[in-house]
C-alpha cells in the first residue's frame, strides 16, 4: 500500500514553535493554512491558533487549551498533555519557515494524488468522448498546479541593487526595444515593444481590421524578430490565416489570390513569400471553443519543443469558453480574461488577445471607442496591461467602401507607459496596416491597383 505524502513531525514542530514563541505566529499563518495539515488533531489545533490570532489573543498552552475545550475539541486532540508534549519537544522556533513550506509541499502532493484518483475513476466509468475526458484531466491538474503559492513580501533594500542593475541594463540599450517589436515604430516608441507577461487587448468593431492588424504584428515577430509565435484562431481557418499572410508579405491583392486571378509575376512573388513563411516557427491552432486551460497546455507543449515563444495571440476572446462553466456570460468572460493574464505571467510571454466591442460607439457622435465599450466584461480592462482600439471612419457599413484609408490605433490603457493615438494607413487590397508616415504606402497602393487592372 502506498504511503500518503505527509509531514507529521513538521506539523508538530510548527505548533510547538508557536507555543514556544508567539512572535512566529504571523510567519506560520502567512505560509500555511489549517486545511494543509495532514493529521486531524493537528488541523484542529492550528484552526484554533488561527482563530485566537484573529481575535488578537495570546497563544500559549492555557489559552489554546481553553479555546479547544470551549469548542468541545480538547479531548479529540489528546488533551492538554498532547499540547504540552508538542511544546516540550520543540527546541527552537528558528526553523518554522522551512517546516511550514514542507507542510505545504506535502499538501500539494496529496491534492495531486486526489486529482489522479478522480481522473482514474473518470476514465474507468465515464461514457464521455476521449477529448472531454482529457480536458477534464487537464483541468484537474491545472487546479493543483495553480494553487496559490506563498511569496513573502520583500524588503526594498534587498532588491534595490537588482533594480538598479536593470535600469543600467536598459540604459545600455540606447533606445533599442526592451520587448518584442510590433513593426510599427510609433507604437514601439510608446510601449518599448510587447513586454513579457503582458496581456495586450486589441479591440474593435467588426470590419475594422482587428485580425489584419494582429497578423501584421505576427508577421513582424516571425520575419524580423525571428521569434516563434502561436496563434489560436477561433474565427479563421489556418488556411485563411496563411493566405492573408501571403498577400501581406508578397504585396499581391488578397482578392486576386482568393479568386485565382494572379499574374505570372504575382505567382512568383507569392512563391517567394511562401518560401519565407516556410522557414519560420509560426504555429496556428484553429480549434473552436478553446478554454484558457487548453491555451496554457498547448503553449507549454510548444515551449518544450521549440523553446520560449515570442508572442501568443488569440483571435478572439469572446469565442473562448471558460474552464468554469457559467450561465452568466459576463462572469464567464471575466474568468477567461483573468485566466489568460495568469497564463501570460506563468509562461512569461506577451499575449495578444483580440476582443469585440459593444455597439455603444455607433450611438455616439464620436465613433471612437472607449474602455467602457469592451464587450461582456469590465474585467478585461482591469486584467489588461495594454488596451488598444483600431478605428477607421471609412469602414464598410458607415458609408465607406472599407477598401482603405486613414486609421487610428487608440491606446486607451497602458499600465506601464503612455497612452495616445497612433496614425495608420489601411491598405484594403492587402488586408494590411502601415505606419502613416511611411513613404512606401503610395508605391504599394499603386502596385496593388496596377495589378488589379491587368
- Cell numbers given for 435: 505606419
**Pick from 81, 102, 123: which residue ends a domain?**
102
For residue 63, give Cα distances in angstroms to 19, 56, 74, 88, 411.
10, 12, 12, 17, 58
Q: What is the pLDDT of residue 286?
A: 87
Q: For residue 403, what pLDDT band results from cuts at 50, 70 and 90?
A: low
Q: What is the pLDDT of residue 396?
A: 39
Q: What is the pLDDT of residue 218?
A: 93
Q: Higher model confidence: residue 379 or residue 450?
A: 379
Q: Higher model confidence: residue 96 or residue 175?
A: 96
Domain CATH code at residue 51: 1.10.860.10
Q: How far apart are CA 417 and CA 132, in angstroms?
A: 42
| Average of per-residue pLDDT across 195-208 | 87
Q: How far apart are CA 143 and CA 125, in angstroms?
A: 22
Q: Is residue 167 part of a domain?
A: no
One domain for residues 97 and 125: no
One domain for residues 246 and 359: yes
Q: How far apart are CA 51 and CA 70, in angstroms?
A: 12
One domain for residues 231 and 86: no
Q: What is the pLDDT of residue 10?
A: 93
Phi-psi region of 206 (alpha: psi -120 to 50; beta: other; left: phi over 0): beta
Contact predicate 333/270, CB 8 Å: no
Q: How far apart are CA 297 and CA 302, in angstroms?
A: 9
Phi-psi region of 118 (alpha: psi -120 to 50; beta: other; left: phi over 0): alpha
| Average of per-residue pLDDT across 97-113 | 90
Share of the chain above pLDDT 90, in %: 14
Q: What is the pLDDT of residue 437?
A: 65
- CA 420, distance to chain mean position in Å, is 24
Tell me: the pLDDT tens digits for 343-368?
Answer: 898 889 999 999 887 776 666 666 78
| Average of per-residue pLDDT across 177-187 | 86
Q: What is the pLDDT of residue 310?
A: 92
Q: What is the pLDDT of residue 38?
A: 92
Q: For residue 216, what pLDDT band results from cuts at 50, 70 and 90?
A: very high
| Average of per-residue pLDDT across 215-226 | 91
Structural domain including 394 reads 178-453
Q: What are phi and psi of 222, to 5 degrees?
A: -80, -35
One domain for residues 217 and 283: yes
Query: pTM of the full predicted structure?
Result: 0.64
Number of structural domains, the chain? 3
One domain for residues 89 and 126: no
Task: Return the active site residues.
Answer: 235
Amino acid at each position: 500500500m502506498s504511503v500518503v505524502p505527509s509531514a507529521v513531525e513538521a506539523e508538530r514542530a510548527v505548533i510547538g514553535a508557536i507555543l514556544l514563541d508567539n512572535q512566529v505566529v504571523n510567519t506560520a499563518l502567512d505560509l500555511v493554512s489549517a486545511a494543509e495539515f495532514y493529521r486531524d488533531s493537528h488541523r484542529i489545533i492550528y484552526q484554533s491558533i488561527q482563530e485566537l490570532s484573529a481575535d488578537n489573543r495570546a497563544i500559549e498552552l492555557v489559552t489554546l487549551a481553553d479555546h479547544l475545550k470551549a469548542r468541545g475539541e480538547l479531548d479529540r486532540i489528546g488533551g492538554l498533555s498532547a499540547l504540552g508534549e508538542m511544546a516540550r519537544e520543540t527546541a527552537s522556533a528558528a526553523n518554522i519557515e522551512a517546516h511550514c513550506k514542507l507542510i505545504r509541499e506535502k499538501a500539494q502532493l496529496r491534492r495531486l494524488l486526489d486529482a489522479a484518483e478522480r481522473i482514474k475513476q473518470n476514465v474507468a466509468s465515464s461514457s464521455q468522448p476521449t477529448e472531454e475526458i482529457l480536458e477534464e484531466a487537464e483541468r484537474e491538474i491545472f487546479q493543483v498546479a495553480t494553487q496559490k503559492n506563498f511569496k513573502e513580501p520583500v524588503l526594498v533594500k534587498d532588491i534595490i541593487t537588482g533594480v538598479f542593475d536593470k535600469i543600467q541594463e536598459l540604459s545600455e540599450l540606447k533606445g533599442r526595444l526592451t520587448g518584442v517589436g510590433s513593426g510599427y515604430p510609433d507604437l514601439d516608441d510608446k510601449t518599448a515593444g510587447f513586454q513579457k507577461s503582458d496581456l495586450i487587448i486589441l479591440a474593435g468593431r467588426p470590419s475594422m481590421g482587428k485580425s489584419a492588424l494582429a497578423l501584421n504584428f505576427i508577421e513582424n515577430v516571425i520575419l524580423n524578430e525571428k521569434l516563434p509565435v502561436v496563434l489560436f484562431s477561433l474565427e479563421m481557418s489556418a488556411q485563411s490565416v496563411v493566405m492573408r499572410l501571403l498577400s501581406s508579405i508578397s504585396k499581391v491583392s488578397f482578392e486576386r489570390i482568393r479568386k485565382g486571378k494572379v499574374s505570372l509575376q504575382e505567382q512568383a512573388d507569392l512563391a517567394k513569400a511562401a518560401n519565407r513563411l516556410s522557414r519560420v516557427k509560426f504555429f496556428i491552432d484553429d480549434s473552436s471553443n478553446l478554454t484558457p486551460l487548453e491555451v496554457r497546455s498547448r503553449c507549454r507543449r510548444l515551449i518544450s519543443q521549440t523553446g520560449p515563444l515570442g508572442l501568443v495571440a488569440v483571435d478572439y476572446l469572446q469565442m473562448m469558453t471558460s474552464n468554469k462553466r457559467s450561465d452568466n456570460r459576463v462572469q464567464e468572460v471575466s474568468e477567461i480574461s483573468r485566466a489568460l493574464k495568469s497564463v501570460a505571467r506563468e509562461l512569461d510571454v506577451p499575449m495578444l488577445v483580440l476582443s469585440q466591442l459593444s455597439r455603444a460607439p455607433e450611438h455616439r457622435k464620436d465613433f471612437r471607442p472607449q474602455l467602457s465599450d469592451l464587450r461582456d466584461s469590465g474585467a478585461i480592462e482591469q486584467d489588461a496591461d495594454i488596451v488598444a482600439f483600431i478605428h477607421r471612419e471609412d469602414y464598410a457599413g458607415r458609408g465607406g467602401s472599407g477598401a482603405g484609408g486613414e486609421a487610428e490605433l487608440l491606446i486607451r490603457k497602458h499600465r506601464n507607459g503612455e497612452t495616445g493615438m497612433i496614425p495608420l494607413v489601411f491598405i484594403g487590397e492587402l488586408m494590411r496596416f502601415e505606419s502613416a508616415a511611411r513613404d512606401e504606402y503610395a508605391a504599394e497602393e499603386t502596385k496593388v491597383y496596377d495589378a488589379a487592372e491587368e
